[in-house]
Structure formats: C-alpha cells, structure tokens
C-alpha cells in the first residue's frame, strides 16, 4: 500500500534520525577537529607561523633593565583558502525487494549508504591533516615527521630492531618542541595492520604501563604513551600520525549529514545521503607523521 505524503514525511524524518545517529558512532577523525559552521562556499583562514616568538638573542625577554623598553614580539599568519566539498551517495531498493526479500534490504542500504558518506569525510580529514597528495600518500611540508629506518619497522623480521614506543615518543617530542601539548587530547592514528603490529610488539605485551584498553567508541580502541588510539582503514599502511585534537584542524560544516527516502510507489525507493564541509589544517605543528623509510 502506498504511503500518504504525511506518512512519508514521518518515515523520512525517522530514517534521517536513525542514519545520523548511526553515523555519529562511525565518524573516527571528525572528533579530532574543532567544529565550526559556515555556508559560504569559499573558506579563508589564517595558518599560524610555527616558529616561537623571541625578542632577540637568548629570546631577549629575560632581564629587562629598569625603565628600559620591552622587547617586541609579533605573531605572523599566512592566509589560506579552501572550498567546501559535497560528499554524496545513494542507493536504490526495488519495491519487490522491500516487500519480499528475506534480508532487510532497506536497513542494509541505509547503513551502507550512510557509512559511505562517513568514510569519505574521514578520508578527506586524514588527507588534510597529513598533507597527503592526491594519491593519498602523506608528503608533509609543514607537519612534523618521524622516519623509521629500514629494518626497524614495526613488523621487521629483526625483533630486536623494533622500537614502536620510542617512535611514538619521538613523534610526541616533535609536537612538544613546537609548544603544543601532545599529552592534552593527543591521539595516535593507525590502520588495522599497524595496530596489530604495535600490540604484537614484545615491549607492549610485557609492559602494561605503555598500553591500556577500555575505550571503544568512534574507533577508539585504547591508549598508549598517553595517546588515545584510533584505528581506521583510512590511515595508509606504513604510516601513522600523532595529532593534538581540536588544536591542529577545524571541520567547517556547510550542511550536516542528511539522509532522505525518495519513494516511487510500486517501483523503487531511493536512499540518498550527503554532507557538505571542509577540513582546514590551521596548526600543522600539532601533527606528526610516523612513516617507514620505504613508504
């Protein structure tokens, strides 16, 4: 039986609520960003210069004589521009599948369509915060980087050369040297392969103070060296990243995730989902990439 318009509106609203609720649990990288809303298509922002301000030799701030003028410091920024991106996906369910299939095709289509949009948004955020090229490989110019030498990878056959704890600490050090605090809201981003390599390392297995579990929402699977671990397939193999959340990047939202159900009674139902926004890397030195030499 075909729904009345009123019934379709109610069901459409319920579907959007269900899908949005599901998606909020699936986003993994958006939680790293400060969230702003702005619908103007071109987004300009200012990226802060990384160098610490000084007043001259030995910073020139210590030991100002009586009645002397204060040394002068002035922060600098570079103007950047980016444009909103629309992330959209849709699927079609035939009327026959809706009324007759053993599998709940509608529920599965809703889940997979919304997951596609969420994965696209997260992939975009990964590329921005790691300054990845179009192929998805991080080639940082502003963000910090720590390179793991050949033979010392986390899956190296030479177990004695594996030292993931020191690699992670080195990544935190680079951020701290730029006066950001990796111990305050710091995250370690890994793909499933390197997460398995990390937890399989002997120093992790045998020393519980390095790793703790107990967080399982939005891709969070535990913490190590004071960093919350997020595991995602959007992280490229042989790469990892340490990020200070809410400090490094901002997600500017033009349109929140929206899902609609478009009925053609007796023929099909289209499930359409979209989100519009852009990630901006405002403080690149609040990020460090960890990479293998051959990556």
Q: How far is CA 128 from CA 7, 32, 163, 261, in A?
A: 42, 12, 28, 32
d(CA 252, CA 141): 23
- What residue ranges do the domains of the chain occupy? 5-48+80-131+250-279, 144-247+284-292
Per-residue pLDDT averaged across 176-182, rounded? Answer: 92
Contact indicator for 164, 204 with CB cutoff of 8 Å: yes
Per residue in 240-254, pLDDT tens? 999 999 999 999 999
End-to-end CA distance of the chain: 57
Asked if 235 and 191 count as a contact pair (C-beta separation under 8 A), the reply is yes
Alpha carbon distance 99, 257 (integer Å): 28
The fold of 5-48+80-131+250-279 is Major capsid protein gp5 fold (3.30.2400)
| pTM value surpassing 0.85 | no
Residue 208 has pLDDT above 70, yes or no: no
* pLDDT above 60 (res 2): no
For the domain 144-247+284-292, what is the CATH code? Answer: 3.30.2320.10
Res 132: pLDDT: 82
Tell me, what's the pLDDT at 167? 95
The answer, yes or no, to whether residue 13 has pLDDT greater than 60, is no
> Would you say residue 295 has pLDDT above 60?
no
Q: Do domains 5-48+80-131+250-279 and 144-247+284-292 have the same CATH topology?
A: no
Q: Length of the chain, please?
A: 295
pLDDT at 39: 78
Strand (E) or helix (H) holding 141: none
Classify residue 133 by its DSSP letter: -
Local confidence band at 176 (pLDDT 50, 70, 90 cut-offs) = very high
pLDDT at 186 over 70: yes
User: pLDDT per residue over 43-100, tens digit each?
Assistant: 766 666 655 565 555 456 777 888 888 877 666 666 566 788 899 999 998 888 888 7
Mean pLDDT of the chain: 81
> What average pLDDT score do residues 109-117 get?
85
């Amino acid at each position: 039986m075909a729904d009345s318009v009123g019934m379709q509106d109610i069901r459409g609203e319920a579907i959007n609520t269900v899908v949005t609720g599901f998606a909020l649990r699936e986003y993994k990288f958006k939680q790293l960003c400060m969230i702003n809303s702005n619908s103007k298509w071109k987004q300009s922002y200012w990226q802060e210069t990384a160098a610490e301000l000084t007043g001259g030799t030995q910073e020139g701030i210590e030991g100002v004589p009586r009645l002397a003028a204060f040394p002068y410091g002035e922060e600098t920024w570079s103007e950047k521009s980016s444009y909103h991106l629309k992330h959209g996906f849709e699927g079609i369910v035939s009327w026959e599948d809706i009324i007759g299939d053993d599998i709940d095709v509608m529920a599965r289509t809703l889940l997979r369509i919304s997951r596609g949009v969420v994965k696209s948004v997260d992939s975009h955020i990964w590329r921005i915060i790691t300054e990845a090229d179009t192929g998805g490989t991080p080639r940082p110019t502003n963000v910090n980087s720590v390179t793991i030498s050949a033979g010392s990878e986390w899956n190296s056959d030479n177990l004695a050369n594996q030292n993931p704890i020191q690699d992670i600490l080195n990544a935190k050090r680079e951020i701290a040297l730029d006066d950001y605090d990796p111990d305050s809201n710091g995250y370690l981003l890994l793909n499933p392969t390197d997460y398995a390599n990390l937890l399989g390392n002997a120093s992790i297995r045998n020393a519980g103070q390095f790793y703790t579990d107990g967080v399982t929402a939005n891709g969070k699977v535990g913490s190590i060296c004071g960093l919350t671990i997020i595991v995602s397939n959007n992280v490229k193999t042989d790469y990892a990243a340490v990020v200070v959340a809410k400090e490094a990047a901002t997600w500017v939202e033009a349109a929140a995730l929206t899902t609609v159900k478009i009925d053609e009674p007796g023929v099909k139902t289209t499930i359409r989902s979209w989100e519009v926004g852009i990630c901006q890397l405002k403080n690149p030195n609040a990020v460090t990439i960890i990479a293998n030499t051959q990556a």
